[in-house]
Amino acid sequence: MANLYTLKIVHCVIIYDIIRKLLETFAERDVELLLLLLKNTGMEIRRDDATSLKDIILQIQSKAAASTVKESSRTRFMLETITALKTNNSRKIPNYDPSLLEHMRRLMRGLLHSKGPADENQLKISLSDLLNADQQGRWWVVGSAWTGRESTTPAASSSACQSVTAESWVMELARNQRMNTEVRRNIFCVLMTSEDCVDAFEKLLRLGLKDRQEREIVHVLVDCCLQERQFNPYYAFLGQKFCECSRTHQVTFQYCLWDRLKTLSDMTSFARGNLHQLLTHLVMSQALSLSVLRVVEFTELSEAEELKFYRKLLHTLLACCSQDTCKAIFSRISVQPHLKPFRDSLLLFMKHHLSSSPSSPSSLPRTMVELFLWCHTFPTRPDYPLVFINI
């Protein structure tokens, strides 16, 4: 356990729990284990949680003073170790060599090809979580939070049966949705069993996925969103959290949505509706830029379903947002010179399809169309006053 902690696999919470458990009896064997733990993890837990270490040191000193093993050599070594920890003097800790620890960490990072800090994915498991895993489940293993030891009471047996049924249902659903890898199945199970988007976000981060595996979160999320018969805002808010969390997720969302937009005419009507609402939410919340549409050839759209989709999308953005939000959305694409072709084609599309006539169902309040024209006409002056332009 000491090595798991020093290699940043588990959190210091479990180390402190084990120390407190050993202090309850404080026998000769307990003192030996305490010395081993403090010698190998002392400086690390001091850095991670110095307040808890201070309390532990006071408890150890109190126990050592009242214990019958206080004269043993192990107890003396342990007291010397905690004195060194208290004064932050690692040289006085027996057989402690921080260079060996750093060498092991470098080896582990090399094996895992990790590009980020190891402590970001630490499992914050307590000792009680491990000891009660059969009764309370293993929350750190996807799909195992429900598992428990069989009980002799009818109520407990019924609950266990329901849990097994629920787990079987989720796994069967994952197979039906073509979640053909372990990573995709784990992500799918988290999405299906989480209480809300915050719970799902935290659990997905705990999976500790790296590089290509992490990209699967976005792909599975979009797949699930488009499969729903009715749009579920849960996926939109979860997608927003991931976009706001990392630029990497923004880029992954962008490529994933590009793939979907290319097959727009082949989608079912409810999938197109869900994609429209997902994309609208991400752009309105500014989790994604409107430049996500730059792959669309607005001047060459011929399919009726494609025209309807983009008219509805832009209509929603312009008609349902406040003027300040609209300014923020369109200003993001107005200040980038390389997006000029995209702005030109988008402007032409809006002229023809969003402001054709006052009686048209797709026509917008003129101030909204003029707002876009304002952003287009004054790309370098986002604070310039709104200008009315005839179209």
For 100-161, give the DSSP string: HHHHHHHHHHHHHT--S-GGGG-B---HHHHHTHHHH--TTSTT-TT-----SSHHHHHHHH
Per-residue pLDDT of the chain (391 residues; tens, 9 = 90+): 887 887 777 888 888 888 888 888 878 888 888 878 887 888 888 888 888 888 888 888 888 777 765 567 777 777 777 777 777 776 667 667 777 767 777 777 666 654 455 555 566 677 787 777 776 666 666 545 544 444 444 444 344 333 434 456 667 777 666 777 888 888 888 888 888 899 999 989 888 888 788 899 999 999 999 989 899 999 999 999 999 988 999 999 999 999 999 888 889 999 999 999 999 999 999 999 998 998 888 888 878 888 899 889 888 888 877 778 888 888 888 778 888 888 888 888 888 877 654 434 344 444 455 555 555 454 444 443 333 333 3
Length of the chain: 391
Tell me the per-residue pLDDT of 309-368, one tens digit each, with 9 for 90 and over.
988 988 888 887 777 888 888 888 877 888 888 888 888 888 887 765 443 434 444 445
Spans of all domains in the chain = 2-131, 135-175, 177-288, 296-391
Q: Please, are residues 257 and 283 in contact by the beta-carbon 8 Å criterion?
A: no
Letter for the amino acid at 122? Q
Give Cα 262 distance to the centre of its chain.
Answer: 27
Contact by Cβ (8 Å): 125, 142: no
H or E stretch including 376?
helix 366-377
Tell me how far apart the 2 most distant CA atoms of the chain are, in Å. Answer: 95
Centre a 10 Å sphere on the Cβ of residue 297 and count the other Cβ atoms it contains.
11
The predicted structure's pLDDT at residue 70: 56
Give the predicted TM-score (pTM) of the model.
0.54
Neighbours of 166 (CB within 10 A): 14
SS3 359: coil
CA 326 to each of CA 139, 166, 244, 290: distance values in angstroms, whole numbers, following the listed order: 42, 44, 19, 11
Whole-number CA gyration radius for the chain:
29
Residue 112 is predicted with a pLDDT of 60
pLDDT of residue 166: 47
Q: If we measure between CA atoms, which residue out of 192, 191, 206, 271 comes closest to residue 239?
A: 191
Query: Residue 139 corresponds to which tokens in the numbers above?
Result: 């929350």
C-alpha closest to that of 42 among 70, 8, 82, 97: 82
